[in-house]
Structures are given as structure tokens and as C-alpha cells.
């Protein structure tokens, strides 16, 4: 069992770390305050190839593996969650969904420009009245000849006003069809007539990001835009979440690490009762717990990435990694604030932003509660993963890095 990262992985880590630290960190506090995404963020990530990092070269990507995706997310979120959210929706949920379920034509038409960073991509599953209970979604896709007519409203959609393409999930099955077989997935270009969108503000965290809503009013889509078979949408959504969650898990590990680093730095400087506070045991305890949680979270997401590389089904492992890392990152950020004392409560220091950002990750991409039910289900034999019609392709360096 080799726990070391390849020199390729190390170079990827360094590249992303340097980018995030030198180009994003200096101004992130101001954008977070403004509740706006810095305009350079998406173009820069596109320019550097991040938006196609683990997509095969022949589909416009950079041909790196799933572990590289995880490492990228860890480094991005160590500076700010909004960068990782871009990877989660554009790459994890949408692009890898196309890679797994798309026809060759769909991959050429949508995945390639996304991987090149020429188009931004999003994922429209959640609705105002539907979160965990996906099967009960209200959005419909009515078949009319060789078109679908889409109606519905999706909410809490990252990059809602910036994405060119979103995966839109809607009910195609009528009465009598089991809810889980009644949903289909669609590739929706957001500039089609009938599509409206807007930004949402006032979130507790991820404020330098772009979150919004998208509504469809009688939007017509050719059947060629349906992803997968009719009625397969629920399974597709869940498969996409396996990849989205993976990026969240990796990012949350980065957040724990960032909380740890900030706490160590501060504890070495701050004096109280005649000494720097790093020598007091209750501070040391907080640091120790952060170390423990960072290393555990890191190993959990790397294992999931390793399984993805081998083409092994990893729903359980990814869910476990996401649940663990996100809960731990909230705790780590909270304790980091405590280490900083009153300064932790002010946005002069980074840790309050970490806490606000961490809180969202316990809700999206499967609430912590959903993950607990999943884990218990697996452990108690109540839940089993049935094979999928399309599996996420295993990583093969030669195939992925080939030009054609």
C-alpha cells in the first residue's frame, strides 16, 4: 500500500496552492463582504485548466486522474470554499456526469467546451420545496414529439447566473410510475427561450460565490438533450452526487488544514499570562484534534479517489468521506475561532469565514443526516448498490492523455 503522492500529484498540488494563495487570498475578504464572485475567478480557473483537470484530453480536458481532482479541491478550499464549489458543480456534478452517462455526441458538444473552460456548467436538482426528498421533485418534462417541454424552478444552484449548461432533472413519468423511475436528466443550455435566472444573497457563508435560482417556463429541449434513458434520472443524479460529494469531502479536508494552520500561527504569536498560548494544554488539545481530523479526512477522500481511479463503485466510501470531513471542518473552524479569541470573531482574521463556509457543506450534497442513514443502511444490510448501466470510467493515463 503506497501512501505517497506521485511527483505529478505533488506538482498539481503546488500549482493550485500557489495560484490560490497569490491570486485569490489577498482579496477574498473583500469579495466575501461584497457577496460577489470576483470576476477573474472563473476565467483564471479556466485558463489554468482547472475546469477540465480530470477529463480526458480528447474531450478538452487535462487528462489527470481523480486523485488530482481531490488534491485540487483540497488546495482551493484551503483558501476559500467558493473556489471549490466551482469544481464541485462544474466538474464533480456536471462534467463527470456527462463523462459517465453522455453519448459521444453529447460529450463532444457539451463536455469538451466545459473541460476547456469555454463554458461553465452547473447542476439543477434542488427545488424550493425539495431537498433531500429528490424523488418528490415538481419540475416536469412533458414529451411532445421529438422535444421535451420543461417547466419548474430550481433553487440553491451554484453558478446559476454564470453557467452556460446545467444538468436539469425533471419528472417524465406519469401516474403509476414509481417516483424513482419517473425522473429524467437533461442537458439544458441556460440561454434557451423560457429560462430565467437570478442570484440569491444573504447566505451565511460561501459569500464570494455565485448561488441562485433557475426557472423554466415551457422551455423546449430536443430529445438529443436528454442525458441517459428516460426514467433513469434519479440514478444519474445519485451517480453525479458521488462525484460532487467527493469534491466536497476533499475541500472540507482542506478547510480543516487551513483552520489548523491559522490556529498554529496564532497560538505561536499570542501571549497570555506571560507566555505564548501554544504552551497551554487546552489550546494544544484543539490543535491535536484538528490534526487528527485533517489526517483522517484526507485519507478518506484519497481512498475514494483511489477507488474511482480503479473504476470501483465508491458510493459508500465517498459518502463516508463527505460526512466525516464536513462535520469535522465545522468543528475545526469553530475551535480555530476559539483559539483566536475575540480576533477570531472578526473578519480581520480568516477563521470566521471558514466557519461560515463550513456550515453549508453539512447541508448540501447530502445532509449529514442523509449520510448517516446511508452508512447505517450499508452496515445493517438494508442498503446495497445495484450496478449502474453506465459506470464512471476508471482512470487510464494512456487513454486519457491521448489526443484522439
Partner 1 sequence: MPNTVQVYIDHFNGVASGASWETLGAARKVAEALGGGVTALVLGSGVESLAQQAFEFGADEVLLADAPGLKDYRAEAYATVVSRLAKDAAALLMPNSSRTRELAGMVAVDLETGVTPDAVAFEVKDGVIVATRPIYAGKLLIKEICAKARPQIVTLRGRAFPAPAAQSGRKGTLTKVDGAAEAKTEVVEYKASEGGVSLSDAAIIVSGGRGVSNNPKLTPPAGMTDEKQIEVWKAQQGFELVRGLAAALGAAVGASRAAVDAGYVPYAYQVGQTGKVVSPDVYVALGISGAIQHLAGMRTSKTIIAINKDPEAPIFKVARFGIVGDLFELAPALTEALKKKLGK
Partner 2 sequence: MNIVVCVKQTPDTAATITVQDGKVSWGDAPLVINPWDEYAVEQALRTKEAHGGKVTALSLGPEAAREALKHALAMGCDEAILVSDPALEGVDSLVVSKALAAAIQKIGDVDMVFVGRQAVDTDTGVTGPQLARRLGWPALSLVAAIPALDPGAKTITVERMIDEGRQVVRSPMPAVLSAVKELNEPRYPSFMGIRKASKATIPVWSAADAGLASVPAAVLAWPEIIAPPKVEIKVELIEGATPAEAAAKLADRLVAEKVL
> For the window 59-88, what string marks contact with partner 1 as x by the rule CB under 8 A?
------------------------------
User: From CA 311, how far away is CA 301, in angstroms rounded?
Assistant: 15
Residue 178 interacting entry, from partner 1, partner 2, none, C-beta within 5 to 8 Å by type? none
Binding partner selected for residue 281 from partner 1, partner 2, none, CB under the kind-specific 5 to 8 Å limit? none
Per CB under 8 A, does 53 bind partner 2? Answer: yes
Nearer to partner 1, 7 or 271 (CB): 271
Least distance in angstroms from the C-beta of 20 to partner 2: 11
Residue 326 near residue 256 (C-beta atoms within 8 A): no
Residue 218 contact, options partner 1, partner 2, none, Cβ 5-8 Å cut-off depending on partner type: none
Do the beta carbons of residue 106 and residue 59 sit within 8 Å?
no
Asked if 270 is part of the footprint of partner 1 (rule: CB under 8 A), the reply reads: yes
Listed residue (232, 226, 222, 209) closest to 161, CA to CA: 209
Report the alpha-carbon distance of residue 210 to residue 116 in Å, rounded: 21
What is the rounded CA–CA span in Å between residue 182 and residue 195? 23
Q: Binding of partner 1 at residue 345 (CB under 8 A)?
A: no
* Residue (31 or 349) nearer to partner 1, CB: 349
Binds partner 1 by CB under 8 A, chosen from 349, 354, 395, 400: 349
Cα–Cα dist 273/265, whole Å:
18
Q: Which three cell numbers stand for residue 116?
A: 476547456
64 binds, among partner 1, partner 2, none (CB under 5 to 8 A by kind): partner 2
23 included as an active-site residue: no
Could you give the CA distance from residue 31 to residue 113 in angstroms, rounded to a whole number? 28
Residue 146 touching partner 1 (CB under 8 A): no
- Burial class (CB within 10 angstroms; exposed 0-12, middle 13-18, buried 19+) of 146: exposed
CB 68 within 8 A of CB 54: yes
Active-site residue among 104, 147, 365, 403?
A: 365
The bridge status of strand 271-272 relative to strand 275-276 is antiparallel
- Among partner 2, partner 1, none, the one that 12 touches (CB under a kind-dependent 5 to 8 A) is partner 2
- Closest approach, Cβ 38 to partner 1, in A, equals 17
- Three-point CA angle 290, 292, 298, nearest 5°: 95
User: Residue 385: which of partner 1, partner 2, none does it interact with, CB under 5 to 8 A by kind?
Assistant: none
The yes or no reply on residue 62 touching partner 2 (CB under 8 A) is yes
Strand residue runs (E) in 102-245: 121-124, 140-144, 147-158, 165-171, 183-189, 195-199, 211-222, 226-227
The answer to whether 63 contacts partner 2 (rule: CB under 8 A) is yes
x-marked contacts with partner 2 along 8-47 as a string, rule CB under 8 A = x--xx--x--xx----------------------------
List of residues contacting partner 2 (CB under 8 A): 6-8, 11-12, 15, 18-19, 48-49, 53, 62-64, 401
Catalytically active residues are 365
List of residues contacting partner 1 (CB under 8 A): 29, 269-270, 343, 348-349
Amino acid at each position: 500500500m503506497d501512501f505517497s503522492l506521485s511527483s505529478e500529484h505533488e506538482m498539481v498540488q503546488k500549482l493550485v496552492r500557489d495560484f490560490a494563495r497569490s491570486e485569490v487570498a489577498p482579496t477574498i475578504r473583500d469579495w466575501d463582504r461584497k457577496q460577489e464572485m470576483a470576476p477573474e475567478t472563473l476565467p483564471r480557473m479556466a485558463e489554468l485548466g482547472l475546469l477540465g483537470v480530470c477529463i480526458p484530453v480528447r474531450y478538452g480536458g487535462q487528462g489527470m486522474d481523480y486523485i488530482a481532482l481531490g488534491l485540487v479541491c483540497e488546495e482551493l478550499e484551503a483558501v476559500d470554499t467558493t473556489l471549490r464549489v466551482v469544481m464541485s458543480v462544474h466538474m464533480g456534478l456536471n462534467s463527470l456526469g456527462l463523462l459517465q452517462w453522455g453519448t459521444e455526441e453529447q460529450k463532444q458538444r457539451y463536455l469538451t467546451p466545459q473541460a476547456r473552460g469555454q463554458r461553465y456548467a452547473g447542476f439543477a436538482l434542488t427545488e424550493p420545496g425539495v431537498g433531500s426528498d429528490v424523488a418528490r421533485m415538481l419540475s416536469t418534462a412533458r414529451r411532445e414529439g421529438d422535444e421535451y417541454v420543461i417547466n419548474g424552478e430550481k433553487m440553491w444552484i451554484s453558478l446559476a447566473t454564470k453557467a452556460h449548461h446545467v444538468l436539469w432533472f425533471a419528472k417524465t413519468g406519469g401516474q403509476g410510475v414509481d417516483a424513482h423511475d419517473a425522473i429524467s436528466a437533461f442537458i439544458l443550455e441556460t440561454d434557451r427561450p423560457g429560462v430565467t435566472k437570478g442570484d440569491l444573497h444573504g447566505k451565511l457563508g460561501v459569500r464570494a460565490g455565485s448561488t441562485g435560482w433557475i426557472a423554466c417556463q415551457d422551455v423546449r429541449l430536443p430529445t438529443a438533450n436528454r442525458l441517459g434513458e428516460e426514467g433513469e434520472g434519479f440514478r444519474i443524479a445519485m451517480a453525479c452526487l458521488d462525484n460532487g460529494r467527493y469534491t466536497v469531502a476533499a475541500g472540507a479536508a482542506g478547510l480543516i488544514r487551513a483552520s489548523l494552520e491559522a490556529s498554529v500561527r496564532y497560538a505561536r504569536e499570542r501571549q497570555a499570562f506571560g507566555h505564548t498560548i501554544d504552551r497551554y494544554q487546552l489550546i494544544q488539545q484543539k490543535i491535536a484534534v484538528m490534526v487528527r481530523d485533517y489526517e483522517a479526512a484526507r485519507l478518506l477522500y484519497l481512498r475514494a479517489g483511489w477507488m474511482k481511479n480503479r473504476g470501483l463503485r465508491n458510493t459508500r466510501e465517498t459518502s463516508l468521506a463527505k460526512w466525516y470531513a464536513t462535520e469535522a471542518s465545522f468543528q475545526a473552524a469553530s475551535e480555530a475561532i476559539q483559539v483566536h479569541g475575540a480576533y477570531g470573531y472578526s473578519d480581520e482574521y480568516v477563521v470566521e469565514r471558514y466557519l461560515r463556509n463550513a456550515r453549508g457543506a453539512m447541508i448540501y450534497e447530502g445532509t449529514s443526516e442523509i449520510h448517516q442513514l446511508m452508512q447505517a443502511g450499508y452496515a445493517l444490510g438494508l442498503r446495497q448498490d445495484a450496478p449502474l448501466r453506465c459506470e464512471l470510467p476508471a482512470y487510464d493515463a494512456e487513454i486519457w492523455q491521448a489526443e484522439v
